[in-house]
Structure 1
Amino acid sequence: MVGLGPAEAAERSWRAARKLTGPVYGRTTGVGANRQVTVHDPGPDLLRSHAAGAGPLIGPERATAMLAVRLNQLLAGGSGLDPALLPVLAEAINGRARPPVREYGAIGTGDLTALSITALCLRGEIPWDGPAFPLASADALPFISSSALTLADAALAITDLRRLLDASIRIAALSWQAVHASAEPLAAVVQRTADSAAVAAALRDLLPALSPARIQDPYGYRACPQVHGAALTALRHAEDTVTTAINSALENPLVTTEAHHNGNFHTGPIALALDALRAALTQTASLSAARLATLMEPSYTGRLPFLAAAEGASGLLILEYVAHDALATLRQLATPVTTGTAVLSRGVEDHAGFATQAARACLAAREPYEIVLACELVAAERALSGPEPDRPIDVEAARKRLDGAD
């Protein structure tokens, strides 16, 4: 259940907004290229004209997270919006109300379509299963001037990816045991960053005393702390960046004792952090696929090729195909969004961060990364336990067991 703490900051901003004089963007003027045009009642047209998303409806988890992010930002103050809306949003969140928000309609400069649809739901112009609120015209832009859906997507992805990155360490430890890899690369003295040291320490704790079979192992083992540590570094940076944005008043204009027109809504830093996270995720997934390859080799496992039950049988050969299919998808999803831009609204809005697309790509990356890990888990367990000729390969069951891999 979501409760409301003190809302003094929102109250102060609202009172200040009611005293504003002169042109204020979106309150007394049009938006975008129409910023110089005085408009008496901009709110209804703004909401109706911007509620034009496309594609499939987003799922309930994302819709609820979007509402929670927007409520949290509004509590930080600075929007000038009527604070009477805040308990209504909390009611919508607790009731799992789902505005009919569609997938496409943002480029990282505000989730305008998603929040316009939500605002029209509150006003009773679009049916939904949530509460009503008479959102005033002056509150239209303050409500939609946020990247709440983008931040919600990023937060959901980061939460799941942290779980999967932790599981990857446990699965790597199983492969380590299966091939009797050397623990020398895990020595504390070898590590050069805090995150590589943390990975090495976690692996040391998981591994029994092993007699190394080789003087040096492939990179899937030898470089695991460095590559996986970099993924944890990228994850932490993304988490910090997104958390800061969720807890900040990224409003335009920002209303204190006056209106400050600004670019705080721009999500370029978030897009950069999420791009780095997907790139690092792909790197550590490639090491998982590399370890999977060693598990197919008799020289590493002491078993038949592909961990087969009989000479000439295919065993787990197909797992490499599955893993590399998923890895190829991860590489596609790792393509950076931050190399592109857009010029819109008659040239006035001449840059875009595309954090929206970066967050969606992070959400999409969860599945292929999980599949790569599940393939390694199946093979590592087979290498440790021996062949099971009558048991079919079940990658999906392994995916469900990732949290418990030990």
Structure 2
Amino acid sequence: SLSLSQFVNVARHGTLVSLDSTAITNVERARKCVETRLKSGETFYGINTGFGALAGVRIAPEQLSQLQLNLIRSHACGVGQPLPTEVVRGIMVLRLQTMLRGNSGVREATLRQMEFFLNNKIHPVIPSQGSVGACGDLAPLAHLALALIGEGQVEWESHIHPTSVVLSKLGRAPLLPEAKEGLSLINGTQVMTAIGLLACDTAEQLLCSADITVAMSLDATLGTATAFRGEIQQVRPHPGQSSAASNMRKVLADDGLRLSHAGCKKVQDPYSFRCAPQVHGAARNCYSHVLATLMTEANSSTDNPLVFAESDEILSGGNFHGEPVAMVLDYLAIGMAEIANISERRIDKLVNPHMSGLPAFLMKDSGLNSGFMIPQVVAASLVSENKVHCHPASVDSIPTSAEQEDHVSMGMTAALKLQRVLDNTARVLAIEALAAAQGLEFHKPLQGGAGVRTAYEFIRQHSAFMETDRALAPDIEVISAAIKTGEFRRSVEKACGELTV
């Protein structure tokens, strides 16, 4: 089975793929089943019939290959911005994975064509809009299949080319799909699932980074870490809550700043600090459920009809329906939006002198300088936008194909808005990290422990202390990128140990 790390390595880091010989044997067995059953004269949906509402139209044997070509061409009508390269690679590896299970009835040659594309970094141009999430992601997957047959466009060597030109340069023939193969290439949930799995990889980095920014902000506002103690988590034993609190304790360990105000009269902090383990923990539990669901989907057969070579059967079903994926993508958007919501509240505390005891908007000469006034406004804008994106796509449905396909998942919509939520959340966390680092400056020469100190130093490597007003937009983008890639998290882990999800 495919693991998340294997998927990410191929999708994000360009790792080469090879096809398992045992799986190829299963593929060949299923293909033989398709060819044998076709010779019997039976009728099978999408193999020797039309598609969707045209399923009642029988196709002559000599037209079966043309049927598959027509299917790919007719369905390649997506619109909108092209999907990122990492998503396209993710789609291809997931499509390979599902077809290698031996329930799709394709030939080995079809799999080898996709393997060739992946390993030669030939990436089909796939528009991002046009899927309703049942029968799977038809339009975007059709653009993938279009490239395999030598048509459409691909990104290769950092430029967009006609697919035929690239294949000619590499001496590779286009794929000529045979019976069922066009349908097997475009029928499935691999686009929404690929986006979802990449989102999970990013979400893991955001969750751990949020625990770091809590610690930074707590020190900057001279807060108390009592709420993070293990005893409190043990009597409400949600796994995510315990992990979040443990991470916060690691980052705050051996903290000189907290010792400096150990005898103060402050008993407890605002909810955005005190309840951080509970909120971050709930988002973690959400993440764990979503990841488990998506990994099941990644290792499933989502074609239709499905081939069962052991019993010599070809069965029509509904495994292409994206509802299981759509629902959890909506759920993850909600979980990650909450990470941004509570982070924005901590930013507000940092810039408010009545709450933090720090200079107004974190500037020595506030009034002449506005400091972090507008970064907090930007964070407020982003979290409010997230709330719009958290309206669930999966509660929507619209009939298509003359009422034959009368309930759909809208999983692709859920996937695309989740991407936006993650981008916004990373930027909110970046603003919090920058504001907290600015706040920590006012407590010098006192310093936090190794974790907080390392986080502060990481920020300072990319963003200098703000003596007077300057444009912070570039700093926010740099820190946001470091949060999403895990660079920020890894730098802190070197000082305080592994942070877990």
The TM-score with structure 1 as length reference comes to 0.95
**Please, which of 361, 367, 371 is the counterpart of residue 315 of structure 1?**
371
The answer as to 2:313 corresponding to 1:267 is no
Give the 5 Å matches for 1:269-284.
269-284=324-339
Alpha-carbon deviation of 1:120?
Answer: 2.9
| Secondary structure in structure 2 of the residue aligned to 1:103 | strand
The answer as to 2:31 corresponding to 1:26 is no
Partner of 2:420: 364
Partner of 1:84: 109
- List 4+ stretches of structure 1 deviating above 4 A: none
Q: Pairwise CA RMSD of aligned residues? A: 1.8
Distance 1:38 1:170 in 2: 62
Partner of 2:359: 304
| Secondary structure in structure 2 of the residue aligned to 1:52 | coil
| Secondary structure in structure 1 of the residue aligned to 2:294 | helix
The answer as to 2:344 corresponding to 1:289 is yes
Alpha-carbon deviation of 1:233?
Answer: 1.2
**Please, which of 292, 296, 300 is the counterpart of residue 244 of structure 1?**
296
Partner of 1:389: 467
| Secondary structure in structure 1 of the residue aligned to 2:303 | coil
The AA in structure 1 aligned to 2:98 is Q
Distance 1:293 1:276 in 2: 26
Partner of 1:185: 227
Distance 2:332 2:435 in 1: 27
301 and 213 in structure 1: CA distance in 2 versus 1, 3 angstrom threshold: farther
User: CA-to-partner distance for each residue in 1:257-285, whole Å, 9 max, x for gaps?
Assistant: 20111111111011111111111111121
Distance 2:70 2:302 in 1: 23
Distance 1:400 1:73 in 2: 32
Partner of 2:20: 5
Distance 1:148 1:164 in 2: 24
295 and 346 in structure 1: CA distance in 2 versus 1, 3 angstrom threshold: same
Distance 1:120 1:382 in 2: 52
| Secondary structure in structure 1 of the residue aligned to 2:123 | coil
Distance 1:139 1:400 in 2: 40
Alpha-carbon deviation of 1:68?
Answer: 1.2
Alpha-carbon deviation of 1:222?
Answer: 1.2
**Please, which of 187, 199, 224 is the counterpart of residue 157 of structure 1?**
199
| Secondary structure in structure 1 of the residue aligned to 2:80 | strand
Partner of 1:404: 488
**Please, which of 112, 120, 132 is the counterpart of residue 146 of structure 2?**
120
Distance 1:238 1:264 in 2: 18
Alpha-carbon deviation of 1:391?
Answer: 6.4
Tell me if structure 2 keeps the 8 A contact 1:119–1:135.
no
User: CA-to-partner distance for each residue in 1:356-405, whole Å, 9 max, x for gaps?
Assistant: 11111112222211110011111100110137424633322332443326
Alpha-carbon deviation of 1:213?
Answer: 5.7
Aligned residues: 406
The answer as to 2:213 corresponding to 1:171 is yes
Tell me if structure 1 keeps the 8 A contact 2:347–2:376.
yes
The AA in structure 2 aligned to 1:356 is M
**Please, which of 199, 203, 209 is the counterpart of residue 244 of structure 2?**
199
Tell me if structure 2 keeps the 8 A contact 1:301–1:383.
no
User: CA-to-partner distance for each residue in 1:219-247, whole Å, 9 max, x for gaps?
Assistant: 11111111111111111111111111111
Distance 2:375 2:144 in 1: 44
Alpha-carbon deviation of 1:10?
Answer: 1.6
